[in-house]
Amino acid sequence: MAVKEIDVKLFAKMFLAGAKYLDNSKEEINELNVFPVPDGDTGTNMTMTIVSAAKEVRDLGEDPDMKSLCKAMSGGSLRGARGNSGVILSQLLRGFTKAVRDEQVITVPLFGAACTKAVETAYKAVMKPTEGTILTVARGMGEKAAELIEDGADDFETIIPALYEHGNAVLAQTPELLPVLKQAGVVDSGGAGLMKVIQGALDMFQGKEIDLTISDDPIAKPDDSRPGKAADIQKNIYHTQMKTSISKPVNRQLESDVKSYLASIGELIAFKADDNEVYLEMNTDDPGLVVQKALKFGILSDVKITCRVQNKTADQSASAPAPEEPKGEPSEFGFVAVSAGDGLADIFRSLGVDHVIEGGQTMNPSTADILDAIEKVNAKTVFVLPNNKNIIMAANQARDLTTEKTVLVIPTKTIPQGITAAINFSDGSSADENEQTMIEAIGTVKTGEITYAVRDTNIDDHDIRKGDFMGIGDKKILSVGTDMDQVVIEMITAMVDDSSELISLYYGADVSDGDAGALKDKIAERFPGLDVDIQRGGQPVYYYITSVE
């Protein structure tokens, strides 16, 4: 008998199966990066977006009603959305569930209307939609659904497989619509992620047995094969110790999940839990992530973070959240910035940023993370500096969900743009005047980043081999080679023009103070008429972040 209705239970299982398939494929999706850099994160971002919703769906139990299910899918994905593809996925879910939430079964005509609504909602969320992306794949399936229904298809056994087949065909065509994909030899990663969701939903619909268990922390492990100087730098450079005071016994499932997660991001030395406190000790490259996990148990105390390489004790405030102070009268203006690396966090704080969200290239913060940061800033108007083009949409989504204060997102795409924006803020100007001034100022900043290639490719007229150092500018790869300092200098040469006055460098966790100082001297010698400033950023993955102004 043909299936002409999808009830709430089946709808929930199809959604969870889609989340499971995406979770299983996240590393495959991450590798569909246009640039061969080690920070491919589309799969991780989309998975964390949908897992946020899946967790809320699981919490509903075995017998949810349609309205509750749709609220969990939409609200969970909106709050958990990370990265541009994650935000678009959350908007697709938002549109689809908005169309079906008032019914108890999904009929074929309702399904067609929901697909149309999903695409419309996602396109509206993107200021400048680009074809050849997840949007194109979603629209193709929406149009196919409408076409099938108009031609008389009236059962899901016909429609859903046809949509999956058509979606894959559209995905295969994305390189023809977006030349940079064709040049890199990949299909769109966001579209590929969406098709994993559809594949899971289809397999569940067709009766395939699927294990719907999904980790609440689906973070792909970082690449450990860093070439060149990074190989000489000790791994897990921060020794991290902390205690957490708890008011009730530790949930053993939570303990197991947290221990597993901590082991994935470093060397877990000790984890002890009793009725009063949790003690943990570990070595890691990212103590901020450890702090975030420890907060799941209660209130932090005795936080100590020591750099094992340079034997420096980090200021607790740089990685651990400062204790909340009683809120008085709100100030006129406040700032939230996103950055990865304790040195960069310190720079932003020195420029007056109230709250720094740990994140960036390798771990985009969620909409909920940004909302939480905005809430913590006691100000009437909060400026948000995303400092990454893949975080701007999540910041805008957080802005739209904020009701008790004004939020202005300055569309900073890089760390140097964020620093320039903060420098150009004036207490004596209005919010609108500051917004305009900062947006104008970031337009004068040229940014370059140095990392390494994770695969062989040819892009931007460069033959690139796995392990090569790459200098990546605002729009394209500027230099490639096996000598890092030479790659930096060639990249900066491509950025400097007659109007340039200042070169700034922020060196990462894998660069020693001595090597950074030596490079500064080489740059000063190469560009004698420009000021050269270098500061420790402590960022992962990118050896240097540079700017020319």
Per-residue pLDDT tens listing for the chain (549 residues):
689 999 999 999 999 999 999 999 998 998 887 777 766 688 889 999 999 999 999 999 888 999 999 999 999 999 999 989 999 999 999 999 999 999 999 999 999 999 999 999 999 998 888 899 999 999 999 999 999 999 999 999 999 999 999 999 999 999 999 988 888 888 999 999 999 999 999 999 999 999 988 776 555 444 445 554 444 444 667 778 888 877 667 676 677 767 777 777 777 787 888 777 888 888 887 777 787 777 777 777 777 777 665 433 344 444 444 444 556 788 999 999 999 888 999 999 999 999 999 876 557 889 999 999 999 999 999 999 999 999 999 999 999 999 889 999 999 999 999 999 999 999 999 999 999 999 999 999 999 999 998 888 888 788 899 899 999 999 899 999 999 999 999 999 999 999 999 999 999 988 999 999 999 999 999 999 999 999 999 988 899 999 999
Q: What is the pLDDT of residue 266?
A: 77
Query: In this structure, what CATH number is given to the domain that contains residue 246?
Result: 3.30.70.1290
Residue 426 CB partners (closer than 8 Å, separation 6+): 433, 434, 437
| Whether 25 and 166 share a structural domain | yes
Rounded to two decimals, the pTM is: 0.75
| Whether 438 and 486 share a structural domain | no
Domain assignment of residue 474, yes or no: yes
| Whether 173 and 258 share a structural domain | no
Query: In this structure, what CATH number is given to the domain that contains residue 451?
Result: 3.30.1180
Domain assignment of residue 220, yes or no: no
Domain assignment of residue 533, yes or no: yes
| Whether 139 and 117 share a structural domain | yes
| Whether 438 and 498 share a structural domain | no
Q: What share of the chain is helix, strand, coil (3-state, %, to 5)?
A: 45, 20, 35
Q: What is the pLDDT of residue 311?
A: 39
Using alpha carbons, select from 451, 460, 454, 364 the residue that is nearest to residue 413.
364
| Whether 89 and 199 share a structural domain | yes
Last residue of a domain, one of 416, 442, 468: 442
Residue 304 CB partners (closer than 8 Å, separation 6+): 240, 241, 242, 313, 316
Domain assignment of residue 211, yes or no: no
| Whether 249 and 173 share a structural domain | no
Using alpha carbons, select from 146, 152, 196, 148 the residue that is nearest to residue 25.
196
| Whether 339 and 304 share a structural domain | no
Query: In this structure, what CATH number is given to the domain that contains residue 350?
Result: 3.40.50.510
* E strands present in 163-261: 238-245
Domain assignment of residue 284, yes or no: yes
Domain assignment of residue 214, yes or no: no
Q: What domain count does the chain have?
A: 4
Where helices occur in 402-512 by DSSP H, the ranges are: 415-423, 431-442, 484-495
Query: In this structure, what CATH number is given to the domain that contains residue 34?
Result: 1.25.40.340
- Distance between CA atoms of residues 186 and 61, nearest Å: 40
Domain assignment of residue 213, yes or no: no
Domain that holds residue 374: 331-442
| Whether 35 and 142 share a structural domain | yes
What's the one-letter identity of residue 346? D
Domain assignment of residue 318, yes or no: no
| Whether 167 and 95 share a structural domain | yes
Q: Are strands 379-385 and 502-507 parallel, antiparallel or unpaired?
A: unpaired
| Whether 340 and 419 share a structural domain | yes
| Whether 471 and 350 share a structural domain | no
Last residue of a domain, one of 422, 442, 462: 442
CA distances from 136 to 35, 132, 176, 194, 401 (A): 21, 6, 12, 11, 26
Last residue of a domain, one of 388, 421, 442: 442
